[in-house]
A and B are shown apart, each in its own frame.
Chain A
Amino acid sequence: MNVYLFELRRAWKGALVWAAVLLAFLIAMVVGIYPMFLDSRASMEAVIDGFPKEFKAAFGVFMDDIFSFGGFYSFCFLYAAVMGAAMASSLGLGLFSREKRAKCMDFLMTKPASRGRLFFAKLLAALTLLAAANAAYTAVFTAMSLPRSGGAPAGWAVLAGSALLFTQLIILAASVFFGVFLKKVRSVAAGAVAITMAGFVLTALGNLLEDRASRFLAVYGYFDVNLALKEGRFDAPLALTAAAASAVLLAAAYVGYCRGEIRSV
């Protein structure tokens, strides 16, 4: 409990800033940009009118999808995911490299607490902060999407909102892994940006390549907001991959944390 509270106290400020940025982004997108987006439908339809007939039919469905709330927000989600990843990786890397950076591994590791307990206390602190931020984000998302997504059940909206949390969990697991196994963490900011960027590049690549297999590269696209709003589910293979990858990374980190040798500094 003491380690948990200690980590919470040291990390809540950064998490609060990111939560505020995420909420501001969400509200700006939905309140500020979404109406502009809807307005552009007319000009797009004008272009499509010039297309051959069979195209027009196909684009009709396409247009409805794009200009739905879910279609719109899936464009925005990439950015929400980048910010969420920055938050999650700062947390994971920050908490799990804290003693390494301060060169006080000896201090914590000679306390009468098993390393497993320390690991879970830190992990739980990170999860608590993510959960708190996401509770706010998902609540606002749900509240804003319900009147805009044409009668989708509230449960689906909540699921769509929680796409951010699930995405953050993958990044958290990866950053915990790096926090435990990197010999030296010079700067949490630099490390977090590197992890976030790696995710971004993979996602950009995955989206660019478009084929089924490369969708597994797109870390920030594992949880599709639009699909959740339309059908109340996530893509099962992708979601399972995310869960499995997170579990493997966390398990490896746990073992590494419990068995690692603490050399003198």
Chain B
Amino acid sequence: MSGLLLAVVLVPLLLAPLVVHPAWRWLVLIAPLPALASLALLPPDATLELPWLLLGTALGLDETTWVFLLFTTLVWSLAAVPVVERLGTAAGTGRFRLLFLLALAGNLWLILAREPVGFYVGFAIMGLAAYGLILHPGGLMRRRAGRVYLAMTLIGELALFVALLLMAQTQGVTWSLPATSAPDGTVIALLLLGLGIKAGLMPLHPWLPLAYGAAPAPAAAVLSGAMSKVALLGWLRLLPLGQVALPEWGMLFVWLGLVSLLVALGVGLVQTDPRRVLAYSSISKAGLFVLLLGLLLLEPTLTPIGVGALTLYAAHHALVKSGLFLGLGLRDLDPARPLVRAGLILLALALAGAPLTSGALAKSVAKPVLVSPGWIWLDLALMLATVATMLLMARFVWLIWPAPGVDDGHRGALPMLRTSNDTQAPVGSQPAFPIWSLAAWILLLGLVAGFPFVLGEPSAWPTNAGAMLIAGLIAAPLALAIWRRAPGSGRRVRRRSLGDLVVLIEPILAAQLWTGRALFGRWNATVEAARAHLYSLGERVGSPPPDPERTLRAWPTAGWLWLGVTVLLLLLVLVAP
């Protein structure tokens, strides 16, 4: 029975080559099914040992894993519907589906993995495959976003790899740091760096607004919903939570979390693209996760509550955020469809943590941890963050509201109105509205709406009502003024990429690079001159003896040799015990 766990990972991997063919694209829908089946059929502590694979692979479930697997699978299954229906058979979609399944396989593998090697391999497959998802269907903006994503992901993976290596050095290939009084600071710092990039923690966030803004709707949905939660899972698994109090690292997590939480909200408020608004909201939520982790590191006794709260929060955020991205994809086809708009507003309310939504439930569950240190200023900062989150979501709703004049009449020409996401809408004459994608999305809406009532106590429902009121008092006059076209409201906020550190860093890097090249060129010229001098000296002495190695150094030979050796090594690794 526990062989099903292997199928969870293996089925997407095996299906991946098949879905390249347009006729078999529906196979994408099947790929997440084994995961759903294993959730339904397997006991919550099923494990599977595969000692012959890699350094000894083990797959298994526990409580946290179960929840992560559940929401991850849900997000992937629901995102698979528009991949099949919306993206259709256009050029390049075969590649997209292939990478989609590879990323899915990686994501599921790392969730199920019970040892660091499997975790890292899944993490790497997922991270690299997602590069192709962001690039689809090409274009300058996406290439730039992809480049930044790839560079940062590679840095993150390297850091994670080193951290895992260091851990393996001290304790062998097992989970979780040892319960010694002084865990290695380097490991924690590397984990923070490696997984912080995936989560989008400030200042490691620059890839996130670019990638979310550029990726197609289903890709953005899985990126934000499923893949970025992986960082949280990694922290929960690898940090020594609940074993020792680590005030040093706890304070660092608290500090970084607070900065992310507050700064990202401020930056998000001045964005003009709804996708970027959502991206900054993701960054601020990553800050909240890190803040909670920091509080757990400060106060280990809270770990059981804290881990549960974090898991629940992750589930809520994954469902809501992926729903928002999928909904944006639907909205781009037809901005005036009231059902889509109403659904988006519901999701935005949930993300803002309005009373009676999943956000309020998640907040109320996390509250015991948040108030644990008893710092007044932390409470105030969190209150501020709650209000600002609501304002950010108000801004989001404002941005998705169709421009005046769009409502009345000409619905057909709408896809052309959006310029920033030109390729989202299928080019061509009057495409049919993707009914199945809409149905899947409505299913997700139902899940989100039912979330607080199924899981939460009634006492958790009215959380955040006060903050909601304050946010309303701030936002309502503004909305009124802009809606009524007050003088001056037409003036746009000066466009500013305050948060896009990339914009500021790129010229600096370019300058550094330029100088490096200039200096290197100088150096090269000197070396060349010296070499020419030496050669002329050598020729005076006589021609050198024939070099038997030269044939081996020719490019084709060397390439084949390298590939052969690599394959041989791989085979040895797979076969060797």
Are A and B part of the same complex?
no
Point out residues on A near B: beta carbons under 8 Å.
none
Please report B residues at the A interface, Cβ cutoff 8 Å: none
